[in-house]
Structure 1
Amino acid sequence: MIKSIFNKIFNIREEATLERPKSFSQTDLSKPINTVVPQKPADERCDSSVSVDLEALFYSLLFPARTKDSGGVANNLERRVMAEIEQALASPQLIAEKVLKLPSKVLELDRKLADPQFDTKDLLALIEQDPLLSVEVLKLCNSPAFKRGEREVTSLQQALVQLGREQLRRFVTSSLVREMLDIKPIYFRRFGAEIWRHSMQVAFLASELSEEDRDTAFLLGLLHDVGKLAIFKMLLDAFVQAEPGEQPNSWLFRQVMTAKSLTLSALLAKHWQLPSTFETELDKLAHVHTRPNEGIAAVVWRANVISEISMLQQASKLPADMLSNLLALVGLEQAQFDELHEKLQQF
C-alpha cells in the first residue's frame, strides 16, 4: 500500500511544469557542447584526485575548520561517529525510523495533489492546516530562483493558479522534506542551511539537465544527500560525549562522510519504500571513484559537481586552476558556468 503510494509520488511521467529560467534560454544544458571531453565507460575511474579535492573543499563549507587537519588520524569523536555509521549501514531501518524519518504528511498531501478530481478548496484547506508548511511553500514561490513575474504570491490559491498542481506538488514535497533538517544547536545550523541549499540546487539543476523524467531527477537530486543529514545528526549526538574543543577535522572522516553517506542515502530510499529507481541510481553515485555514465545518476552526478563548484566559487574557496579542470570534467565552458553560477546564487 505505502509502496504503491510512493510510486505515484515519485514516478511522475507527465511533462514537468517548471519553467526554464531565462538564464538557460541560450544554451540547452541537457545536450553536450563542443568542448565536452569524451565520456568514459561506466566502469572506468574518473579523475579521483580532482574529485577528492573538491569534496575536501566542499566539506570546509559545512564545517568551518577550527583546528589543523589531522590527516588520516581520527579523534575520539570521529571514531565514535564512524562506528555508528557502520551500525547504520547494517541497520538502516533504525536510522529511517529514529534519526531521519520521512514526514508522513507527504503521503496524504501528494495523493490529493496528484488527483485532478480532488476539489481545489479541500486541497488548499488541507495544506493550510499546517501553517509552517504554507509559509514554506509561499517562500519557495517567491524565492528569486522560482519566482515568476513581478507580482508576489501571497496565497496558496494564487500559487495554485500560477504554478499548477504539478509544480505545487514539487514545492510541497520539498517543504516537507526540509523538515528533516530540524537542527537545534545554533553553531551547527550552517551545516543544515548549506546542505539544504546544495540539495535544492542539485534538484533544480538535475531537472534542467535531464532529457527525460525531470520530476524523478528533481526528487533524486533533492534526496541524494539525506545520508549526510543522517550522519550529521549522529555527530550532534556524539558531541554530548566529546572532549572540549573536539571537532571533526580529519581527512579520514571527510572520506567516510563522502563515501558512506551516499550508500546510506540508497539504503534509506529502500527503507522508505521509494521506487527501486531511487535505490539503484543512488547506489551508482555511492561508488565515489567511478563516474556514472548513464541514467539519472549521471545527471545528478553532474548537477552535484556544478553545485559544489558554484558554492565554493561564491565563498572564494576554489583555486582558478582547479575551476578549469572541474569545468572540463562536467563539460561546461566558462561562459555557461557563469550563467549558471549567477542563477544558483539566488538559492
Structure 2
Amino acid sequence: MFRRLISKVFPTLKQEIEANHYFFEDTKDVPENLDIQYNQNTADVSDLTFELNNTVHYQDRFFELLFNSAITTSQRDPINEFIESKILQLLRQPQYILKALPLVPSSLTQVMNTLNQPEFDVEILVNLISDDPVIAAKVIELANSAFYNRANKPISDIKAAFMLLGQKGLSEGVINGFVAQMVPKAQIYFKNYGKHLWSHSQTTGRLSQQLAIKYKINAEQAYLVGLLVNLGSMVIFQLMIDAFSSVCPDTQPNAQNIKRLVTDYGQRLTLDIAKLWNFPREILESLAVQSKISTEHELLKYSERYPIGGCVYQANQLAMLSLLVKHNKIELEDFDFNNATITLLTKGEASLLINHSANTVI
C-alpha cells in the first residue's frame, strides 16, 4: 500500500550501518502541531484536542498475542532505529501518509445512501455492490459466516446475500468490505497480526453495536466507529512492514518499537484518516474522544456528551479481552476488572459480552 511513499522517504541503506543514533536530531525540526486541516469542509473538532492516553492496562498481553510473545523484545539495533525514526517523521507529518491512502470510493457512498433510504430498488443496490469486487467479496463472506448463516447453506451471489443479511447486515458487509482493504498484509513472520487486528476491529464493531442498543443510541453509527477505531494501528504496522521489505528485507521489525508507535500515534492517525474521508462530525467526535479517557470518571463524563464515543471505548477494551480469552491468554475468573480495564458495566455484564464474543465466529 505504501511502497511508493516508502521509496521516496527512505534512502538506500549501505551494507553496514554505524550504530550512531540520530533519532532526536532527525526529528527535532519536524513540526509538533498535528492538527492539520485537509480542506475547508473538514469538521472542527478543536474542542477535542488530542492527548496521549497513558493507561496501559492489559495492552502488553494484547500485543503479545498480536506479535507472539517470543518476539516481543526491547532489544534495539541500528536498522530498527533508523527505520523507526523515519516512520516517526511520517507520523508527525501525516499528510504524506494520507495522500497514499485510498479515498472513499463513490460506489461506497452511493451504496450507503441507498441503504439509508426507506425504500430502494434491490437490483440497483446489487449492481452497485457488484461493481466493486472487494466489497462484493466481503459481503458474500459475511453472508457465509457462522454469525449469519446458521443453516450453513452456501451463498454465492449478492442478491442471495442481501436476502440473508437484510438491510442492516448488508450495510455492515459494505463497510467491512472497504475497511478490510486497510488490514495489514504482513510478511509470514507476522502473519497473525493482520488476522488478529481485523478480528479485534470486527469484535469492537459488534460490541459497540450491542452496547449502543443497551444504551439506546445509534447502533449503526456505533458499529461503524467501532470498526474504524483501530485504522491507525493498521496503517502504522503496514508502514513498518513495507519499510523493512523495501529497505532491508533480511531484518525483521522490532515488535516493541511498533507497539510504542501504535500506542503513541495510532488514535491520532485514525482521526486524521476519518477527517480525510470527510466523515460526519459525530463520527470524528467519537473517534477523538478515545484518547481522552483514562479513568472511569472520564469515561462517564465523556459518555454523557459523546455517548457513541464512550460506547466504542468500552467495546474496544472488551474486544481486547475477548481475543485474549479466545486464545487462552487470560482467565476471566481471575481477572481484576477494577484495576485492569475501564468500563461502566458490571463484572457480570462485561464477562457475558466477552465470553459470547470469544465464542462467536465472525
Q: Same fold judged by TM-score > 0.5?
A: yes
Matched, 1:64 2:68: yes
Q: Distance in 2 between matches of 1:67 and 1:340?
A: 27
C-alpha offsets along residues 294-345 of structure 1, whole Å, 9 cap, x if unaligned?
A: 0212111111111111111222222668623368743343576256423433
The aligned counterpart of 1:287 is: 292
Q: Would the aligned equivalents of 1:266 and 1:278 in 2 still touch at CA under 8 Å? A: no
Judge conservation of contact 1:259–1:288 (CA < 8 Å) in 2.
Answer: no
Residue 96 (structure 1) shift = 2.4
Structure 2 residues not aligned, in runs of 5+: 1-38, 44-52
State the alpha-carbon separation in 2 of the partners of residues 341 and 321 from structure 1: 11
Residues in 1 aligned to 2:326 and 2:140: alpha-carbon distance in whole angstroms = 26
Q: In the superposition, relative to structure 1, how do residues 81 and 272 fare at CA in structure 2: closer, same or farther (>3 Å)? A: farther
Q: Which residue does the alignment assign to 1:263? A: 268
User: Contact 1:58/1:308 (CA < 8 Å) preserved in 2?
Assistant: yes
Quick one: higher RCO (CA 8 Å, sep 6+), 1 or 2? 1
1:232 aligns with 2:246: no
Q: Which sections of structure 1, spanning at least 5 residues, go unmatched?
A: 8-46
TM-aligned CA deviation for residue 152 of structure 1: 4.8
- For the structure 1 residues 144 and 282, does the alpha-carbon distance in structure 2 shift closer, same or farther, using more than 3 Å as the test? same
Residues 9-54 of structure 1: CA distance to partner in whole angstroms, max 9, x if unpaired? Answer: xxxxxxxxxxxxxxxxxxxxxxxxxxxxxxxxxxxxxx96xx5141
Q: 2:228 aligns with which of 211, 223, 228?
A: 223
Size of the aligned set, in residue pairs, is 301
Q: How has the CA–CA distance of structure 1 residues 276 and 81 changed in structure 2, closer, same or farther, with 3 Å as cutoff?
A: farther
State the Cα distance separating 1:274 from its structure 2 match. Answer: 0.7
Change (3 A) 1:182 1:108: farther
| 1:279 to 1:188, Cα distance in 2 relative to 1, 3 A | same
- Aligned mate of 1:87, from 73, 86, 90: 90
What is the CA–CA distance in structure 1 between the aligned matches of 2:224 and 2:63, rounded to whole Å?
A: 23
Equivalent of residue 325 in structure 2, options 303, 307, 313: 313
* Cα-Cα RMSD: 3.4
Work out whether residues 186 and 193 of structure 2, in 8 Å CA contact, stay in contact via their aligned partners in 1.
Answer: no
- CA-CA distance at 1:167 after TM superposition: 2.9
Aligned to 1:161: 163
Please tell me the residue identity of whatever aligns with 1:61.
L
Q: Which residue of 2 aligns with 1:303?
A: 315
Q: Distance in 2 between matches of 1:68 and 1:286?
A: 24
Match of 2:56 among 40, 52, 55: 52
Whether contact under 8 Å (2:115, 2:171) holds in the other structure is yes
Larger CA deviation: 102-111 vs 170-179: 102-111
Report percent identity of matched pairs: 22
Q: Which amino acid in the other structure matches residue 81 of structure 1? A: E
Contact 1:228 1:261 in 2 (8 A): yes
